[in-house]
Structure 1
């Protein structure tokens, strides 16, 4: 059984740097001001202001601040400013058996915490935008869906559609619209034919979630047997920095570790990484994996480091359709 947190407009949002702090303080302040104008109360932790040696603070301090916000009944959503590199350090300092049911939202390195939390507790977590990316005067319709997704009640459903355009490269600036969506979005399938997939969502940034394999925080089999007995898993993943060969090695490791047992299909986000190795491309990786697992694979979806991105909820039951370059994701908040 999956537990879904409750979220409403006007909620209190706790911002804590579970990985890297926001070195660009003016962007963080702008995001806070923008969210407050929209009716939210924002509580900024100490860790958001600091950064040294690839982390905002010590693992113990980051874990303690996150835990304090999770225990605070006045805070409804934990929203890291952005990702980073070393979130995995904090996991051993968190008592997941004692945390409350509330939303945690983010992506990149934050997805390490999101997946670990859902696997350990059965509490749904949300893979979507970062806090600092909501600082603009305008928000594209794909990114803006995070509010509607998190506001969905247990037993309810929410539909999201593929974006019309996406951003090719990052530009940290103060423009009214944070993302510069210039490239046409096209969802693709390995077969080139339309596909339909159904299953319980799990996933994140493959660069970091792969390191949960073999740890107490990456036991997919135990999670499935305890919380989703007999149900298929629909994986979504995005690649930040891996070459095609490293991507392949990571996926094979996941397969050998049993992560793809009872898999209904896999969704891959578009990526500027995926560098070919001796002619071996990401598309080759997808074809090989699809053939080995006997499942459909959709790629270049709205997920990851080339925004905008759909808000995927770990643990939710999803129905995904992809064809003719477009995609539809319907998530059911099924216990």
Structure 2
């Protein structure tokens, strides 16, 4: 595992590039506002300059353009010296198709704030493990940033601008359930369950040992959750983790015989580390932002996740003020 690299904190006036490395954003119905315009207006109101990358609005089948187009936008955003942050438009599917072609050396030489979740899991984890770059598992432009709660927006901006006092308790609005009490410390890693399972057995399978693992998902059924948890277990993703935080599992098709908390508790009962369920990170209407690669403490008894270091760095001139 590489030494974590903190990207520079975003400042008012900085430019945020918008990329679509996965699925295409659906065209709005007639007389409905464009999600790109809504998201851009929100970023501009927060003091940022928005740069829409050339292929961000493309569509090719179920993807936001061809692999070459999506990859070109990602690389160009990292290389562009006028860009300080990179925000993904949405998830869907497509990031896994880019992993073999990613220029990790180029990305590592230009560390920047990179934000996304869901399908972006594979990008964030692969870049973190090969360059050390801390990534931000948070709301995206045309999904829950443009249409989400002010809570989601505020928590994202707080972290990427380095405005969170350290140590910092990530705020949680979900009902919390402690499965295994205790306190864990380690660097955060994880993301969407479907993507974590899909990466198993590939060269990009996440290295979770020594980390606090967080997992979220949505629109699943009990048997698909079970299958994917078994895959993670057999692939060794639960081996030597410090703790497990099950975040937002929204719109799950439940079974009448068992409530979701009891079901997830049973799925993770083999673990002997701190485990808890219920944290507002993921596909829900309101989502906090988790920095992958950041040192944290998880109090599973109380349901408190605390950042022990800043996920971003500051220029020397700002530190001396």
- Is TM-score (shorter-chain normalized) higher than 0.5? yes
Match of 1:189 among 174, 178, 181: 178
Q: Give the secondary-structure state (helix, strand or coil) at the position aligned to 2:273.
A: coil
Equivalent residue runs for 1:237-276 within 5 Å: 237-276=215-254
Structure 2: runs of 5+ lacking an equivalent: 29-33, 312-321
Change (3 A) 1:245 1:86: same
Number of the residue aligned with 2:151: 141
Aligned-residue Cα RMSD (Å) equals 2.7
Q: Give the secondary-structure state (helix, strand or coil) at the position aligned to 1:267.
A: strand
Question: TM-score scaled by structure 1?
Answer: 0.80
TM-superposition CA deviations, 1:283-305 (whole Å, max 9, x none): 35432343312123211211111
TM-superposition CA deviations, 1:111-138 (whole Å, max 9, x none): 22111211222211110111233336x9
Match of 1:30 among 35, 38, 45: 38
Whether 2:214 is the aligned partner of 1:236: answer: yes
Shift of 1:257: 1.7
Shift of 1:273: 4.1
Give the Cα separation in 2 of the matches to 1:334 and 1:144.
17
Paired residues of 1:266 and 1:297 also in contact (CA < 8 A): yes
Q: Give the secondary-structure state (helix, strand or coil) at the position aligned to 2:76.
A: helix
Number of the residue aligned with 1:217: 204
Number of the residue aligned with 1:332: 308
Q: Give the secondary-structure state (helix, strand or coil) at the position aligned to 1:292.
A: coil
Number of the residue aligned with 1:96: 104
Structure 1: runs of 5+ lacking an equivalent: 164-184, 225-231
Give the Cα separation in 2 of the matches to 1:27 and 1:236.
29
Number of the residue aligned with 2:70: 62
Change (3 A) 1:277 1:141: closer
Number of the residue aligned with 2:269: 291
Paired residues of 1:189 and 1:195 also in contact (CA < 8 A): no
Question: TM-score scaled by structure 2?
Answer: 0.84
Shift of 1:151: 2.6
Q: Give the secondary-structure state (helix, strand or coil) at the position aligned to 2:212.
A: strand
State how many pairs are aligned: 300
